[in-house]
Amino acid sequence: MDIGCGPGDTTKELLLPSINFNGQIIGMDISESMIKYANDTFKDEKRLQFDTLNIETKNLPKKYISQFNHAFSFHTLHWCNDIQQVLENIYQMLQPDGTMLVHLIIASHNVYDVLRILAWDTRFASYMPEAMKNISPYQESKNPRKELKELLKNIRFTVYHCSLREVSYSDKKSEYLVSKSFKNI
């Protein structure tokens, strides 16, 4: 399964060629319009299927429990507010000995501290709900890799590899981040 598949192109172009010829991939996304687009665009590809799913749900549909050999997610899970629920759902959806490959952005930046201060200020609070929505749960963490690894183990995943790579952005990219965060102000 591909969690947060969006329009389905990564599912089709990257994942589908990588699996057994008899295998099938189900792309899932919270956006009904993305799923409709993916189903319309790739309707002739018999090994692809797309379905709407909020991976943060507390009521995982029974049809998905223990149904998947592999779970993938690229550039998606950082948009989720409850990463523990997400990972618990993925664990439930995997068959025993299933594998998971996830690229999770763990952003930590002092711009988020500024956003918090503005959110507490009554003059700006009404503009801040969207800006505050996607602050990484690891923003304040001294060791996010260790915390994530512990969370995975507590859920009962066997962790073979968990790495953290620091990426620095240029001023231009930082300005872009700030402009997106403050677009409603």
Write the pLDDT tens digit of every residue in 109-118.
Answer: 777 778 778 8
Whole-number average pLDDT of the chain: 87
185 domain-assigned: no
Of residues 120 and 3, more confidence is placed in: 3
The CATH number assigned to the domain holding 53 equals: 3.40.50.150
Q: pTM for the full model?
A: 0.81
82 domain-assigned: yes
Q: Which helix (H) or strand (E) holds 36?
A: helix 32-41
85: exposed, middle or buried (C-beta count within 10 Å: 0-12, 13-18, 19+)?
middle
Contacts of 135 (CB under 8 A, 6+ apart): 112, 115, 116
Two structure tokens written together for 150: 């512990």
Average pLDDT over residues 179-184: 51
174 domain-assigned: no
Question: 23 lies in which domain range?
Answer: 2-106+144-155
126 domain-assigned: no
Q: Report the 10 Å Cβ neighbour count for 78.
A: 18
Q: What are the backbone dihedrals phi and psi of residue 132, each rounded to the nearest 5 degrees, phi first?
A: -85, -15
pLDDT value of position 139: 75
32 domain-assigned: yes
| pLDDT confidence bin for 24, thresholds 50/70/90 | very high
How far apart CA 74 and CA 103 sit, in angstroms, is: 5
Of residues 157 and 110, more confidence is placed in: 157
Average pLDDT over residues 46-67: 97
| pLDDT confidence bin for 184, thresholds 50/70/90 | very low
178 domain-assigned: no
64 domain-assigned: yes
pLDDT value of position 40: 98
For the chain, the domain total comes to 1
How far apart CA 63 and CA 40 sit, in angstroms, is: 23
pLDDT value of position 131: 66
